[in-house]
Amino acid sequence: MSLLTKSTGTAAARETPARRRPRVDRLPYLLLLPCLVIIGVLLLWPLGQVVGMSFYKLDSVRQLRGDREWPWVGFANYAQILGDPFFRTVLRNTVLFAAANVVLTMILGTVVGLLLNRLGKRMATFVASCVMLAWATPALTGTIVWKWIFDDTSGLVTWLFNKLPDGLSTALFGRSDWTGYGWFNDPLLFFSILTLVVVWHSFPFIAVSVLAGLKSVPSELQEAARVDGAGPWRVFWSVTFPALRPVFGILVVLSTIWDFKVFTQQFVLAGGTQDRSTFMLSIYSYAEAFSPPPKYGLGASIAVILTLILLVVTGVYVRMVLRQEDES
């Protein structure tokens, strides 16, 4: 059988002697060229630069302009950063924040995806449209609105907490008057609100992706499991989840990458880069580099550390995508 196909193959090749491709086709490379130049110049070259800069002592704009020399300091920036207890706090904040957000986003997104799949058509369309609204809202304005909702005088949350019976509020939180309460002052509270904002922005994507995945799982399987007496929990873990596993894998990795990089929401909620107790890696890097006095070299070394973490996660992601490409 294989011999047969092989021989017909060569026969066909002989009949039409390399008519289409006399030599290596240069056209695809030409078409790719502008794209490669742009990616190279605007993404890869700067990435290399940031690694290079992390080995220099760079602390003035003059050095960036090339008016002053760059003193080479080797791994001094890294030594300084890694030896700084504050960096360890920031790293811990970043990892904990990303972990909490990935878990919450995945759970909420999956539940909403499953829900959308079960709702009647009109209700599903309505809920999906509302969910899309949260997804489409820019990080900037979405965060500004949440900041308004948590405003310490006329914010909705402050009003709600003021509405609690005084006795209950005092028993639970030790205060009954919430007017003027700084919702963003305590780091733990700050991170909780940031989590709320980030989950609000990102669960729609998970929900919609899970829904798309569910539509491709034959519902007969779930029906059959149900007929066999499986409860909803069992149906999910034994039938639905295994079918969706590749989608889940990619979603978890993507969410991890995004949640490690959260910047705009953090920046707007904290009102800039003054509040160091709420720092995570990306804003820490930015603040070190750009808030006066500038320390570009130190900022670069933090950026490199963040990139290295993401590179590991990306490796997992690329493998998953390539495997899916092979299958399809």
Q: How far apart are CA 109 and CA 125, in angstroms?
A: 16
Q: Considering only residues 7, 9, 13, 46, which one is a binding residue for other proteins as defined by CB under 8 A?
A: 46
Closest approach of other proteins to the CB of residue 158, in Å? 9
For 128, residues 6+ apart whose C-beta sits below 8 A from its C-beta are 116, 208, 211
For 11, residues 6+ apart whose C-beta sits below 8 A from its C-beta are none
93 versus 282: smaller Cβ distance to other proteins:
282
- Please report whether residue 119 would count as binding other proteins according to CB under 8 A: yes
Cα dihedral 163, 168, 170, 175, rounded to 10, equals -20
191 versus 285: smaller Cβ distance to other proteins:
285
191 versus 260: smaller Cβ distance to other proteins:
260
Query: What are φ and ψ of residue 225, in 5° steps?
Result: -65, -40
Tell which positions 60-89 bind other proteins, by CB under 8 A: 61, 64-66
CB count within 10 Å of CB 160 equals 11
Judged by CB under 8 A, the stretch of 49-57, 91-99, 217-225, 237-245 that binds other proteins is 49-57
- Please report whether residue 137 would count as binding other proteins according to CB under 8 A: yes
Tell which positions 260-299 bind other proteins, by CB under 8 A: 260-261, 263-264, 267-268, 271-272, 282-283, 285-286, 289-290, 296, 299
102 versus 142: smaller Cβ distance to other proteins:
142
What residue spans of 75-218 are helical by DSSP H? 76-83, 85-118, 121-136, 139-149, 156-163, 166-173, 187-216
Q: Considering only residues 79, 96, 99, 136, which one is a binding residue for other proteins as defined by CB under 8 A?
A: 136
- Please report whether residue 184 would count as binding other proteins according to CB under 8 A: no
224-to-36, 49, 186, 221, 231 alpha-carbon distances in Å: 51, 58, 51, 5, 12
Task: Please classify residue 304 by burial: count the beta carbons closer than 10 Å to its beta carbon, then call 0-12 exposed, 13-18 middle and 19+ buried.
Answer: buried
- Please report whether residue 316 would count as binding other proteins according to CB under 8 A: no
Judged by CB under 8 A, the stretch of 11-19, 23-31, 217-225, 236-244 that binds other proteins is 23-31
Radius of gyration, CA atoms only, the chain: 27
- Please report whether residue 193 would count as binding other proteins according to CB under 8 A: no
Residue bearing tokens 């995004």: 258
Judged by CB under 8 A, the stretch of 77-85, 116-124, 167-175, 236-244 that binds other proteins is 116-124
28 versus 74: smaller Cβ distance to other proteins:
28
Tell which positions 207-266 bind other proteins, by CB under 8 A: 208-209, 212, 247, 250, 254, 257-258, 260-261, 263-264
Residue bearing tokens 């596993």: 245
